[in-house]
Amino acid sequence: MESSCDETAAAVVSFYETERSILSSAIASQVEIHALYGGVVPEIAGRAHIEAISGLVYRALEEAGISADELDAVAVTSEPGLIGALLVAVNFAKAFAFAHRLPLIPVNHIRGHVAAAYFAYPDLKAPFFAMVASGGHTSLIDVRSPVEFVTVGKTRDDAIGEAFDKVARVLGMPYPGGAEIDRLASRGDPDAIAFPSAALRGSLDFSFSGLKTAVINYVHGARQRGALPELPAGGGERADKAVADIAASFTAAVVRAVISHLEKAHARFGYKTLVAAGGVAANSHLRSALTVFCEKQEIRLCLPPLSLCGDNAAMIGAQGYYEFMAGHLAGSDLNARPTVRGAD
């Protein structure tokens, strides 16, 4: 079960010997509700989760064709995320586990994003290196075992997806605009505007806030000069080339920062496998750059399918399996933790 941000999700997964399968995966997105406000409103998210969670859990069971008593355990996202949102699935999972006498497994959401890769790559085994790039998180992680995560790089301010969404917003696109920036960038010139790097020197950390502000300042300046038309109704498809150039140059700056840190991390850790996960791993430009980088360095690249990049509960079930095998269980006093140090 998952309710850390603006998607309520429930899934039934099966891990057995070499089998890794998703029997059902139900997701109720709140994107349309939050789009009215240009971003996630925490209290509204919590209220929407509480309406959705019960129906979703029973739908997931029905679609999987099994009863609650046939389950071996219940996994739930307990950290990090919006506190009022997290508490909904945590509390539901506790009651569900108690009622059906099932072990309860708390799962870190960022670990969950990484674990999405096990479905697409059933032979994937730690150690490997992972990059989680989502609306709330940007982490570079040395995954030493399925339950031993060492965060070696992170954002010091905005998450990577947050930067995409804010740039999309200033260009006039509805929340969340990451996917639309992706499409628009394909029509623009990535070298049109030189935006600053988001890769901090001397560490594997990022700062996306400066890059985002540079784009916003550029947009405001260009508008004042009358050099940038407003986005036409109907969105990016018909946007002016000048707008596409901004999307392309911003995307190129993000991709450059990610690849430069992955290169540095490769020199330091010598990883042979890279897992890229999270909503922003759906970005087509980032995917191509990762593919080229990994081919050149002879690294095995594991990119989950788009359906598993965004928030879902199957990924929580996958990580839940490994936490369960490691004996990481919780009691009825399980609480949610809104902020934690990455996936560690």
* Of the candidate residues 2, 79, 158, 182, the single one contacting ligand KG4 (CB under 6 A): 182
The reply on whether position 211 binds ligand KG4 by CB under 6 A is no
Strands 273-277, 128-133: pairing is: parallel
Place of tokens 């369960």: 324
Q: What is the C-alpha separation between 36 and 27, in angstroms, rounded?
A: 20
Buried b / exposed e along 75-95 (16+ C-beta atoms within 10 A): bbbbbbbbbbbbbbbbbbbbe
* Of the candidate residues 283, 314, 321, 336, the single one contacting ligand KG4 (CB under 6 A): 283
Place of tokens 């039934």: 12
Percent helix, strand, coil in the chain (nearest 5)?
Answer: 45, 20, 35
The reply on whether position 342 binds ligand KG4 by CB under 6 A is no
- H-helix segments, the chain: 31-35, 42-64, 83-99, 109-115, 117-120, 160-170, 178-185, 208-224, 241-269, 284-297, 306-309, 314-325
- For ligand KG4, which stretch binds (CB under 6 A), given 9-17, 175-183, 216-224, 314-322? 175-183
| Phi then psi dihedrals of residue 265, to 5 deg | -65, -35
Contact positions vs Zn ion (CB under 5 A): 134, 311
Look at residue 158 and give the partner it binds from Zn ion, ligand KG4, none, a contact being a CB closer than 5 to 8 Å depending on partner kind: none
Output 97 or 133, the one with its CB closest to ligand KG4.
133
* Of the candidate residues 161, 190, 210, 320, the single one contacting ligand KG4 (CB under 6 A): 161
In the region spanning residues 113 to 152, those forming contacts with ligand KG4, defined by CB under 6 A, are: 134-136
Look at residue 178 and give the partner it binds from Zn ion, ligand KG4, none, a contact being a CB closer than 5 to 8 Å depending on partner kind: ligand KG4
The reply on whether position 311 binds ligand KG4 by CB under 6 A is yes
What's the min distance (Å) between Cβ of 186 and ligand KG4?
11
Q: Which residues bind ligand KG4 (CB under 6 A)?
A: 5, 134-136, 161, 164-165, 176, 178-179, 182, 278-280, 282-283, 310-311
